[in-house]
Amino acid sequence: MFSFHHVTLSVRELSAAEGFYKGLGFEPVYRWQDNAGSLQICHLRLGQALLELYCFRPEEEPELSGVPPWANGFRLGLRHFALLVDDLDKALSALHGAGMLAEKPSPVKGQTCTRYVFILDPDGNSVELLEGPLVEIQQPE
């Protein structure tokens, strides 16, 4: 009856966000803009995952928060999404080498994976990079 379709992130600058996610391996598959130019949408695909970048430009700019997700602790809404990598050190070195990370964060030991780290996109959205093997999720009885 239901199947997952996409995750949407609101972004300030579509080109900056699109460039960041292309650097993570996402490929653009759809782009749309309204006639007034106040709304732009870009869909990017990574495997079966679809990411929608939503850039709204009203006539009057709303107050946008630049507070990173971890600065205010618990928050409602999207907290992060995760990408699985084969080699976390290699992935971080590649992102750092491409200028996508000013500094390489230090991976930490995970509870549901071997190691993980969080990085931020240009708008402060959290992306978790995790290295397997993933634990088997227990099924309810």
More confident residue, 9 or 111: 9
Q: Is the pLDDT of residue 49 over 80?
A: yes
Q: What is the pLDDT of residues 54-108, one digit of tens each?
A: 888 766 555 555 555 444 444 456 778 889 999 999 999 999 999 999 999 999 9
Q: Is the pLDDT of residue 110 over 60?
A: yes
Residue 23 CA: distances (Å) to CA of 19, 83, 91: 6, 13, 11
User: Which part of the chain has CATH 3.10.180.10?
Assistant: 1-59, 77-141
Q: Across residues 40-54, what is the average pLDDT?
A: 92
Q: Domain 1-59 classified CATH 3.10.180.10? A: yes
More confident residue, 134 or 36: 36
- Identify the CATH homologous superfamily for domain 77-141: 2,3-Dihydroxybiphenyl 1,2-Dioxygenase, domain 1 (3.10.180.10)
Burial class (CB in 10 A: 0-12, 13-18, 19+), 57: middle
> In the prediction, which pLDDT does 15 show?
94
More confident residue, 70 or 36: 36
- pTM (2 decimals)? 0.74
> In the prediction, which pLDDT does 70 show?
46
> In the prediction, which pLDDT does 50 show?
92
Measured over the CA atoms of residue 88, residue 136, residue 83 and residue 116, the dihedral's sign is negative
Q: Across residues 19-41, what is the average pLDDT?
A: 92
Q: 29 and 43 in contact (C-beta within 8 Å)?
A: yes
